[in-house]
Structure 1
Amino acid sequence: MNERTATHRERTGIPWLLILLSLVALAILVSLGNWQVRRLAWKQDLLATIDARIHADPVPLAEALERMRAGEDIEYLPVSVRGTFLPNGEQHVLSTWKGVSGWNIYQPLRLEGGAILFVNRGFVPYDRKEPETRPESLAAGEQELTGLARLPLDEKPSFLVPENDIAKNQYHWKDIVAMTAAAGLAAETVVPLFVDAGPYDDPAHLPIGGVTNIDLPNNHLQYAATWYGLALALAGVVGVFLWRRYRG
């Protein structure tokens, strides 16, 4: 066997390692694409469920709590509540509304029977954080309102979210335990959920109600197309390489 023949066989030998690694990578990419397709179906079902739920008639808060204790998902469930807002104890969560930075005002509402419910009354601009800057927002006497039930978070949603500054009453995420302590309330009296108040009759009213963000991102189709596209590109590159290697 001369040197030319040996070189030819070396060049035209089957690159098993390359083929094996390519098949493994291809399987991973296709699996990721399939996973995103399943996530897409799940997200579409979730959005449909939420859309149907928020347009349902409100139920009394007691019924919502009974459903929650039974293990039912009550996120975004419309509820009706009645009580008296405590003049002190507002908790302020950083937020934006229509591109404007500001705060969502969480104020404790004393219900019939003595329990306390934190109500997200809505949005105020950044410079209207303190109650004395918006005396028109003080709600006296018994109030009746409807809103959406929101479940509290057990922990900070992401390491990217800053820590809450309890001393300055500046929250980046809704920590019901910290809010309860900061407002000087007994934990056993606080209802274990929030209610986002609906829109008010007066659009100039502060806080601005009805600010619940229910526009959940749904990018799973784009993600699936990306993974499948990478799989197709990988198959094409390896196929062209093998074809060029053996076409002679």
Structure 2
Amino acid sequence: MNKRLIAPALIGLLGAATLAYLGTWQVQRLSWKQDILTQIDATIAGDPQPLPVMIDPTEQKYMPLALSGTIEEGALYVLVSAKFVGAGWRVVSPFQTEDGRRVLLDRGFIPDDRKSAPLYAGPAEVTGNLHWPDERTSSTPDNDVAKNTWFARDIAAMSDQLNTEPLLVVARAIDPADEGFTLMPVDSSGIPNDHLNYAITWYSLGIVWLLMTGVWMRRIAKGTD
């Protein structure tokens, strides 16, 4: 081999090997993430449990619940967007269980023009999941509590506002059903899983790296570089 080609060949091979390693690592991460999502889906769809006394957000996130009690007066409105509908509101109300505990109940979605509509308050049976959503980012506006416009489900602030425990139950079913509501139950679809895209990107870059290295070596061999 032309001595002038040794350095480009090494650079090409090392670069391609590095990119291939990164792609393979992302494939492994994809398998790991899919296992996690499968476990989450199994938890969400599990047999409903009573509201736990000892709270552990790490262990109890997505825990399925069955609650009997009363949907109380009052609601907080979280600005969201629903597919095929557009802007609207998640409605979060206080819910008192039969044993006197008060928690936050995410009742689902209503269109924007129903924000001022009266809400049902009274006895209800709820199945749902405990959830600790992480929706606030550096670009999320501050909640306008005076206008009852919330931009994230900030559990601590909401529980202070409605005088409940800092626990959020996202409804999967409510009996009697809330008129005009679309339930927005917990699922795994919103959990990012971009590892396949990352893997394709790294492998593609590896191929491009090899092609560019080939062009470079060809130019050197022809004495044009």
TM range (shorter): 0.7 to 0.9
- What fraction of aligned residue pairs are identical, expressed as a percent? 37
Q: 1:165 maps to which residue?
A: 144
Q: Which whole-Å deviations, capped at 9, do the CAs of 1:83-135 have from their partners, x for residues lacking one?
A: 222212x11111233322211110011224433210001111101113xx2x3
Q: 1:97 maps to which residue?
A: 82
Question: Which amino acid in structure 1 is aligned with residue 40 of structure 2?
Answer: I
203 and 24 in structure 1: CA distance in 2 versus 1, 3 angstrom threshold: farther
Distance 2:174 2:98 in 1: 22
Q: 2:104 maps to which residue?
A: 118
Alignment partner of 1:214 is 2:188: yes
Q: Which whole-Å deviations, capped at 9, do the CAs of 1:16-60 have from their partners, x for residues lacking one?
A: 4x6676566545533432332132112211221122223221111
Q: 1:150 maps to which residue?
A: 131
Distance 2:3 2:14 in 1: 22
Superposed, 1:168-207 pairs within 5 Å as: 168-183=147-162, 185=163, 190=165, 192-200=166-174, 205-207=179-181
Structure with max Cα Rg: 1
Q: 1:69 maps to which residue?
A: 56
**TM-score, normalised via structure 2 length:** 0.81
**TM-score, normalised via structure 1 length:** 0.74
Q: 1:138 maps to which residue?
A: 120
Distance 2:147 2:50 in 1: 34
Distance 1:84 1:202 in 2: 11
Q: 2:202 maps to which residue?
A: 227
Question: Which amino acid in structure 2 is aligned with residue 139 of structure 1?
Answer: A
Q: Number of paired residues?
A: 220
Question: Which amino acid in structure 1 is aligned with residue 29 of structure 2?
Answer: R
What secondary structure does 2:147 align onto? Answer: coil
How far is 1:71 from its partner? 4.9
Superposed, 1:78-97 pairs within 5 Å as: 78-88=64-74, 90-97=75-82
Q: Which has the higher contact order (CA 8 A, sep 6+)?
A: 2
Given the alignment, which residue of 194, 202, 220 partners 1:245? Answer: 220
How far is 1:244 from its partner? 3.4
Question: Which amino acid in structure 2 is aligned with residue 174 of structure 1?
Answer: R
Distance 2:199 2:144 in 1: 39
Gaps of 5+ in 1: 1-10
Distance 2:92 2:130 in 1: 13
How far is 1:166 from its partner? 2.4
Distance 1:46 1:93 in 2: 28
Distance 1:31 1:164 in 2: 44
Question: Which amino acid in structure 2 is aligned with residue 207 of structure 1?
Answer: F
